[in-house]
Structure 1
C-alpha cells in the first residue's frame, strides 16, 4: 500500500474547494460525468488508431445511487489509469499559491475548476471521502484503489476489478444529502449531461405494472448522443427541428424560424437558434439559449457570447473554443468570443433576409411576432440596423406591409409638408384613435400602426436614420396641422369673442388627476368636428421613452398636457358663442369696460415708471401700480365667473366637452353616467 500527501503548496485546499465552490456545488456531477465521457472517448480513439486491439464492448457511462451507504458512483469503461497515472494526474495538482488562487477567483466559483484543472476535485464539494477503483486498458495492468478523505492524505492499494475503466465512488457528506435523492440526480443529469456524446445511464427504465412503477432490465439512458445540431442540415426536415425544439422547451408554442449554425473556421461553432413567438415581456424570454462545449452543458446565461438582442432567441450553441467554465472577464476579452458574436449576428440577418426574399407572404404573416426581436436588434446594435433596414417592415392600419423604402415612396408626394419634411403618421391603437385615423384617410394620407412594445423608441431612432422625416401620432394635432401644406388659416373671431368662448369651455373642463387642458380656438372649416382633443407629440413621446430610459423619470412625473381645440367655423360653436353673447352681454359690458380702463391705466403706470430708476419710484406710485393690478385681476375673475355661471347650465357646452373626452377614452365613472343621462334628455 502506498500512502502520501497530495502535492499542493498548502494543506487547506479542500476547505477552499468546499467553501468557495459551494455556491455552484451541483456542477460536481457535470465534472465527474465529463471525465468519464472523456475517458470513454479516448478508448474509442485508441481503438480507431489500432493502439487498443481489444473489444470495446458496452461503453455506457453509469451513474448509480446507494442511499443506504450514502454513495454516488460514476462508472466508465474508458482507458482507466495505472498507479503511476493516478500519482501523476490525481495526486500532483499543478498549481501554486492557494492565496493567489483565492484572491483571484473568490467571486467566480465556476471559473476555479476549469482554470486549475480541478474537475475531479469538485467531488470534494459534496463528499467526505472519495474512492477511485480503476484499471488501465494496457495489457497486464492491475487494478488499483485510491482513497482520500478530504485531507491532503491519500492511500493507494491493490484492488479487484475485472474490467478496464474507472469507478468513482463519492461518499456524500451529511450537509449534501440532496445528492442522494434520485429526483435531484435525475434533474442534474438532465441539465448538464442531456446531450453528451457517450450514452449515460442512470438506473433502469420503469413501467407501470399492477398499478405501480416497476423497474425493467433496460438501462435508463438519459442523453441523446447525437443531438440535432451535430447532424448535417441537408439530412433534416422541418419536423425534426420542431421536435427538437419541443424537446428543449416543452409546452412552448411552435417556433417561427430557425437557423442551423455550422462553421469550422476561424473557430468551431455548431448549434440551432430558434425564433420563438414573442410579443412582449422581453425579460421573461431570456436565458433560453443553452451553451455547450463538446455537447457538455455550460450555461444558459449567454450574454457576451450572443449579442444582447439575440438573447431573445431560443436554442443551442456548441463550441469547443469556449471553455467549460466561462467567466465574464473571459468573455469580455476573448477575441474568439467576439468573432462568434459577430458571426451569429450576420447569420441571423442573412437568414431573415433570405426568408423575406424567398417567401415574403409567409414573412409578413409572421412579422407581428418577429417585430419585437428585430426592433430590439436595431435599437441595441448599430450594425444590425444596417443589415435589417432591408427586411424590417412597417405595417399600416389596413394590415398592409412595406419596407422602409417602399413606404417612403408611397407617401413622399402626399405627406411632405411646406418645409420639405416627410411626415409619417401613425396610430398606437386602431380602436381608440379611430376617428383621427379616418380624418387622416379622408385627406388621402396613409397611417401606420405602431402598437408594439418597442415602437416608441423605434420611432425616435427612425427619425434620426431617415432624412428630413418626422413621425406624428394622428391624435397629436388637428389633421390640417399634422401636415402643414400652407400657412394656417387664422380664426376670424376677434380676440374678445375667442377669449370669452375659451373661458366658457375652460370653466367646465373636469379636474383629472395629473392632466392639464389648454383651450384653443381655430377656424377648421364647417365640416370638421366642433371640438377635438389633441396631445403634444413631443411630450407624450418623452413620457413614453422615460419608461425605457433611466435618467428621464422627471418626464413621467409631469402631468399629461392636452389641447381642447374649438372649431370656430362649426355651427354648434357659433350657436354657443351667439347664445353666450346674448345672455351675458348686459352683465359683461360694464366689466369689460372696467377691464379695458384698468389695462389702459396699468400700461400708463408702467410707461411712467419705466422712465425712472428703481430708487426714484415713490411708495405711493408702487401702491398705485399694485392696486391697479389687483383691481384688474378682480375684474377678470368677475368676468370669468359670469361666463362660468352661464356655461355651467349650457348642456351643449358640457355635451361637446364630454364627446371629446369620450373620443379619447377619458370619460369614466360618474362623468360618463351624467353624459348618458344628458344625451337622453337632449334627444327627447
Structure 2
C-alpha cells in the first residue's frame, strides 16, 4: 500500500470544493459521468488509430445506487488508469487528463469533452469518502485502488482487477441522503445526461406483469446518444424537428419554425433553436434554451451567452468553445462567447428575413406570435434592429400589414402636419377607443393597432429612428389637432361665454384622483359636442410607470385629462344660452 498527500497548492482545498467551487451540489453526477464518457471516447479514438488492438466490448456506462451501503457507483469500460496516471491525474488537483490527451490526439479526438478540470473532486461535495478502482487499457497493466476520505491524505493499492475501465464509488455523507433515492438520481440523469454520446444504464427496464411492476433483465438506457442537433440538417425532416421539440417541452404548442445551427469555424457550434408562439408575458418564456458542451448539459440560463431577447427562443445550443464552471464576468468578456452570440443573432435575422421574402403571406399569419420576440429584439439589440427593419410589420386597425417603409409611403401624403412632421396614429384598444378611431378614419387617416405588451416602449424606441415623425394615440387629442393642418374655423362662442361655461362643465366632472382641464375648440357641427382626451406625453409617462411597477421619486403620477368642448356644436350653444339666462336671472335677483 502506498500512502501520500494529494498535491494541492491551496491548503485544505476540500472545504473550498464543498462550498464554493460548485454552487449546485447536483453537478457531481454530471462531472463523474462526463469523465466516464471521456474515458470511453478516448478508448474509441485509440482503437480508431490502431493504438488499441483489443476488443472494445460493452462500453455502456453504469450508475448504481446502494441505499443500504449508502453508496453511488459510476462504472465505465474506458481507458482506465495506471498507478502513474492516478498519481498524475487524481493526486494533482486541477490537472485535466482530457487536455493532455487532446494534445496528443488532437486530430482524432474531437469527441473528448474536457473542460472539466476539477470535475472528479466535485464528488466530495456529497461524500465523506471516495474510492476508485481502475485498470488501464495498456498491456500488462495492474489494477489500482485509490481511496480518500476528504482530507489531503490518500491510499493507493495494487489489485488483481481484470476488468478494463474505472469504477468510482461515493460514500454519501449524512447531509446528502437525498442522492440515495433512485428517483433523485433518475431526475439528475435526465437533466444532465440524456443526450450524452455513450449509452448510460441506470437499473433495469420495468414492466407490468400480473398486475404489478417487475424488473426485466434489460438495461434501462436513460440517454439518446445521437440527438437531432448532431445530425446534418439535410438528414432531418420537419416532423423530426417537431418530435424533438415535444421531447424537450412536453407541454405547450408546436413551434412556428426552427433554425438548425452547424458551425465548425471560427468556433464550433451546433444546435436547434425554435421560435415558440409568444403572445404575452415575456418572463415566463425566458430560460428555455438548454446549453450543452459536447452533449453534456451545462445550464438553461444562457443570458450571459446570447443576447437577452434570444432567451425567448427555445431549443438547444452545443459548443465546446464556451468555457464551463467560470464566472459570469468571464463569460461576458470571452471572445468566443461574443462571436457565438453575434453569429446566433445573425442566423436568427437571416431566418426571419428568408421566411418573410419567400412566403410573406405565412409570415403575416404568424406575425401575432412573432411580434413580441421581434419587437423585443429590435429594442434591445441595435444590430438586430437594423436587420429587422426589413421584415418587422405594423398592423393597422383593419388587419392589414405593412413594413416600416411601406407604411411611411402609405401615410406620408395625408398624415403630414403643418410642420412637415409625419404622424403615425395608433390605438391600443379597439373597443375603448372606437369613437376616436372612427373620427380619424372619417378624415381619411390610417390608424395602427398597437395593443402588444411592449408597444408603449416600442413607440418610444421607433420615434427617434424615424425621420421627422411622431406617434400619437387617437384619444390623445381631437382629430383636428392630432394632425394639425392649420385649418382655422371661427368659434360661435365668445371668450366670455367660454369662461361662463367652464364652471358648468367642471361641476359635472369627478374629482378624487383625477384632474380635468376644460378647453374649447372650433370644430364642425357634425363633430361630437364633448371629448375627453389625455395628452400623449402624460399617458406615455403613466404607461411607463405602470410597466416598470415603480413610482417616481414624487410618487404615482396623477391622472390628468382634457375635457375638449366643441364650441360650434348646437348642444353646446344651447347650454351656453341656458347658462346666460340663469346668470341673468341671478343678476336680476341681486338687483331686486
**Fold shared by both chains (TM-score > 0.5):** yes
Match of 1:559 in 2: 558
Query: What's 1:77 paired with?
Result: 77
Deviations 1:439-488 (A, max 9, x none): 11111111000001111111112110111111111111111111111244
Report deviation, 1:394: 0.1
User: Which residue is equivalent to 1:5?
Assistant: 5
3-state DSSP class of the match of 2:491? Answer: coil
Give the structure 1 partner of residue 139 of structure 2. Answer: 139
The answer (yes or no) to whether the contact 2:22–2:122 under 8 Å persists in 1 is no
Structure 1 SS opposite 2:90: helix
Indicate yes or no: 2:26 matched with 1:31. Answer: no
1:157-183 CA distances to partner (integer Å, 9 max, x unpaired)? 232433211110111111110110111
The answer for the alignment partner of 2:225 in structure 1 is 225
Aligned to 1:445: 445
Question: Does the alignment pair 1:516 with 2:526?
Answer: no
| Aligned equivalent of 2:276 | 276
Matches within 5 A, 1:146-165: 146-165=146-165
TM-fit CA distance, 1:36: 0.3
Alignment CA distance shift 1:588-1:566 (3 Å):
farther
Partner in structure 1 of residue 486 of structure 2: 486
TM-score, normalised relative to structure 2: 0.93
Kept in 2: contact 1:80–1:135 (CA 8 A): yes
Q: Residue deviations 1:189-219, cap 9 Å, x none? A: 1111111111111111111222222111111
The within-5 A match list for 1:638-677 is none
Give the match for residue 111 of structure 2: none
- Per-residue deviation at 1:588? 4.0
- 1:531-680 equivalences in 2 (<5 Å): 531-548=530-547, 553=552, 557-588=556-587
Q: Is this contact kept in 1: 2:197–2:226, CA < 8 A?
A: yes
CA distance in 1, matches of 2:468, 2:9: 69
Counterpart residue number, 2:420:
420
Which residue number corresponds to residue 474 of structure 2? 474
For the Cα contact (< 8 Å) 1:65–1:180, is it kept in 2?
A: yes
Q: Deviation of residue 548 (structure 1)? A: 4.7
1:508 is paired with a residue whose SS is coil
Partner of 1:201, secondary structure, is strand
Post-superposition shift, 1:18?
A: 2.2
Report the CA distance between 1:589 and its aligned residue. 6.6
Query: How far apart in 2 are the matches of 1:10 and 1:355?
Result: 56
Q: Distance in 1 between matches of 2:589 and 2:357?
A: 75
Gaps of 5+ in 1: 96-113, 594-684
Given that residues 422 and 470 in structure 2 are in contact (C-alpha distance below 8 angstroms), is that contact kept between their aligned partners in structure 1? yes
Specify whether residues 378 and 324 from structure 1 end up closer, same or farther in structure 2 by C-alpha distance, changes over 3 A only: same
What SS does the corresponding residue of 1:520 show, helix, strand or coil?
strand
TM-fit CA distance, 1:44: 0.5
Structure 2 vs 1, CA of residues 556 and 466 (structure 1 numbering), >3 Å: closer, same or farther? farther
Post-superposition Cα deviations, 1:575-598, rounded to whole Å, max 9, x if no partner, equal: 22222222331214788x9xxxxx
Aligned to 1:632: none
SS at match of 1:79: coil
Secondary structure, in 3 states, of the residue corresponding to 2:72? strand
Deviations 1:118-160 (A, max 9, x none): 1111111111111111111112222221111112222222324
Query: 1:555 and 1:564, CA in 2 relative to 1: closer, same or farther beyond 3 A?
Result: farther
Alignment map for 1:362-401 (pairs within 5 Å):
362-401=362-401
**What's the offset of the Cα at 1:500?**
1.4
SS of the residue 1:546 aligns to: helix
Structure 1 CA distance for aligned equivalents of residues 469 and 555 of structure 2: 26
Q: By how many angstroms is 1:239 displaced? A: 1.1
1:89-488, aligned counterparts within 5 Å?
A: 89-93=89-93, 117-488=117-488
- Look up the SS of the partner of 2:361 in the other structure: helix
Shift in Å, 1:238: 1.3
Q: TM-score, normalised by structure 1?
A: 0.81
Cα distance in 2, alignment partners of residues 541 and 3 from structure 1:
73
Q: Report the 3-state secondary structure (helix = DSSP H, G, I; strand = E; otherwise coil) of the residue aligned with 1:91.
A: coil
Q: Highest Rg: 1 or 2? A: 1
The separation in 1 between residues aligned to 2:429 and 2:507, in whole angstroms, is 30
Distance across 2 between alignment mates of 1:357 and 1:458: 24
Where does the alignment leave 5 or more consecutive residues of structure 2 unmatched? 96-113
Tell me if structure 2 keeps the 8 A contact 1:310–1:377.
yes
Distance in 1 separating the partners of 2:382 and 2:323: 29
The answer to whether the Cα contact below 8 Å between 1:11 and 1:151 also exists between their aligned partners in 2 is no
Cα separation, partners in 2 of 1:455 and 1:588, compared to 1, 3 Å: farther
- Aligned-residue offset at 1:94: 5.3
Is the CA contact 1:270–1:317 (under 8 Å) kept in the aligned structure 2?
Answer: yes
Task: Say if 1:392 and 1:403, in contact at 8 Å, map to a contact too.
Answer: yes
Deviation, 1:21, is 4.0
* Contact in 1 for aligned 2:267/2:321 (Cα 8 Å): yes
SS of 2:169's equivalent? strand
Q: In structure 2, the residue corresponding to 1:528 is in which secondary structure?
A: coil
Does the Cα contact within 8 Å between 1:263 and 1:270 map onto a contact in 2? yes
Deviates more, 1:388-397 or 1:208-217: 208-217
Contact kept, 8 Å, 2:274 with 2:313, in 1: the verdict is: yes
In 2, Cα distance between equivalents of 1:489 and 1:477: 17
* Equivalent residues, number: 573
Once superposed, what is the RMSD of the aligned Cα atoms?
Answer: 1.9
How far is the alpha carbon of 1:22 from its aligned partner? 6.4
**CA distance in 2: counterparts of 1:442 and 1:460, whole angstroms:** 27
Is the CA contact (8 Å cut-off) linking 2:493 and 2:568 kept in structure 1? no
1:530 is aligned to 2:529? yes
- Structure 1 range deviating more: 72-81 or 273-282: 273-282
2-side partners of 1:174 and 1:7: how far apart? 27
Deviation string, structure 1 residues 643-668 (Cα, Å, up to 9, x no partner): xxxxxxxxxxxxxxxxxxxxxxxxxx
Residues 278 and 25 of structure 1, relative CA distance in 2, 3 Å threshold: same
Higher helix share: 1
Q: Which residue of 2 aligns with 1:110?
A: none
SS of the residue corresponding to residue 163 of structure 2 reads coil
Look up the SS of the partner of 1:553 in the other structure.
Answer: coil
Q: Is 1:45–2:45 an aligned residue pair?
A: yes
**Does the 8 A contact of 1:205 with 1:217 survive in 2?**
yes
* Larger deviation, residues 409-418 vs 519-528: 519-528
Deviation (angstroms), 1:77: 0.5
Note if contact 1:124-1:150 (Cα within 8 Å) is conserved in structure 2: yes
Distance 1:215 1:481, change over 3 A: same
- Seen in structure 2, the aligned counterparts of structure 1 residues 463 and 451 have a Cα distance that, compared at 3 Å, is same
CA shift at 1:555, angstroms?
7.9
Secondary structure of the corresponding residue to residue 377 of structure 1:
helix
- Once the 2 structures are TM-superposed, how far is the Cα of residue 116 of structure 1 from its aligned partner? 8.4
